A = this chain, B = another copy of it.
Amino acid sequence: MDVDERRGEVLRAIVEEHIQTAQPVSSQAVARSAGLGVSSATVRNDMTALERDGYLTQPHTSAGRIPTDRGYRYFVDRFADPTAVRGLHGEQQRAVSEFFRGAHAALEDLLHETSGLLARITRHAAVVVGPPTESARVRRVDLVLLQPGQVLAIAVLSNGAVEREMLTVDPDLSSEQVATAEQALAAALVDATLQVPPAPRPSGDPAADGLAGTAHLALHRRAEASHDPLYVGGASRIAAEQEAFATARSAATLLELLEQQVVVVSLVRDLLDQGVSVSIGSEHRIDELRDCSLVLAPYTIEGEVAGTVGVLGPTRMDYQQALAAVATVSAQLGNLLSR
């Protein structure tokens, strides 16, 4: 085994040990556990070299070393095998297949529950980004007169999502007029996308036309304005992983970020076309995520990339397992949504 190879093994041992213990790793521990057949002094030399090259850092002089983001990056690129399912225990695999066997919810609920599943098996926070509403075609349009002056506009999309918007209308509008408007709206939207801008719709009844126009505009606006849907599962894990964060405050701001959704969605979108990917600590430009890693896997519906599932944990996380989890879950989710 030549020097470079051994240094890789030393780094690997340090990462694995540190993931397990959350403590700085000493040269002795590596020499003892890694089975390299060299003394701790040699390991020490390698460790100084690895630190010089930016893979390791020392919290303080008389302590062991911990991996830097760059160290994790090397570890993931070199040692983590995204195709290996072996990272998953039997129990976890069972949970996944059981979940997808029993799944029969509408799209939104399904994606939400999927985030919960992923959080459960990885014991970290999980995110699921749904298929963009823009791309889906309208299958059905409803205008429901809930009570005088109040109409609920509903668009059922081909992917099973449902867009809703409440409209306040003239209280004198009759249910027949609403029905007329519904037909007009259906004519304009069914089999189209919500991207289609509203157009004048001359028919017999101007009030009905008005309602159809309003409803179209409202649904159109909503589809325009809304970012891709994001579902977060197991956010409470972030609070439980407090120790990983520099300050108690940063865990709170991270949770806030997840609540606001939009930042996370754009981050995930940016990484979407890279296939299974890992983004470590300072690699993503969002400061609040400095102490976190994001392990993502896109899922496809009938061959098209539709969305992403991901795990959000501290940089000190079990990448092997997270990769295995997102890989299997995304595959199964894509399967389910394709058939």
Contacts and interface: CB of A to CB of B under 8 A. Distances in A.
A142 B104 CA distance: 17
A251 interface: yes
B160 A146 contact: yes
Interface string A234-246: 1111111011000
Interface in A56-109: 104-109
A259 B236 contact: yes
Contact of A105 (B105, B149, B165): B165
Contacts of A140: 142, 144
A156 B158 contact: no
Interface of A: 104-110, 139-140, 142, 144-147, 149-150, 152, 154, 156, 158-160, 162, 164-168, 218, 233-240, 242-243, 248-249, 251-256, 258-259, 339
Given A149-B339, A242-B248, A243-B248, 13 more contacts: A105-B165, A108-B164, A140-B142, A142-B156, A146-B158, A146-B160, A147-B158, A150-B160, A154-B154, A235-B235, A236-B252, A237-B252, A248-B248
B248 A235 contact: no
Nearest to A168: B104
A149 B84 CA distance: 33
Contacts of A249: 240
A196 to B, nearest CB: 19
Nearest to A257: B236
B106 A152 contact: yes
A147 B251 CA distance: 43
28 contacts: A104-B166, A104-B168, A105-B164, A105-B166, A106-B165, A108-B164, A109-B164, A110-B166, A139-B144, A139-B145, A139-B146, A140-B142, A144-B156, A146-B158, A147-B158, A149-B339, A152-B160, A154-B162, A233-B259, A235-B255, A236-B252, A236-B253, A236-B259, A239-B239, A239-B248, A240-B249, A242-B242, A242-B252
Given A255-B236, A259-B236, A152 B144 contact: no
Contacts of A158: 146-147
B242 A256 contact: no
A259 B258 CA distance: 14
A148 to B, nearest CB: 10
Most chain B CB within 10 A, of A147, A152, A234, A255, is at A152
Contacts of A256: 236
A108 to B, nearest CB: 8
Contacts of A252: 236-237, 239-240, 242
Given A154-B156, A156-B142, A166 B106 contact: yes
A115 to B, nearest CB: 11
A162 B233 CA distance: 22
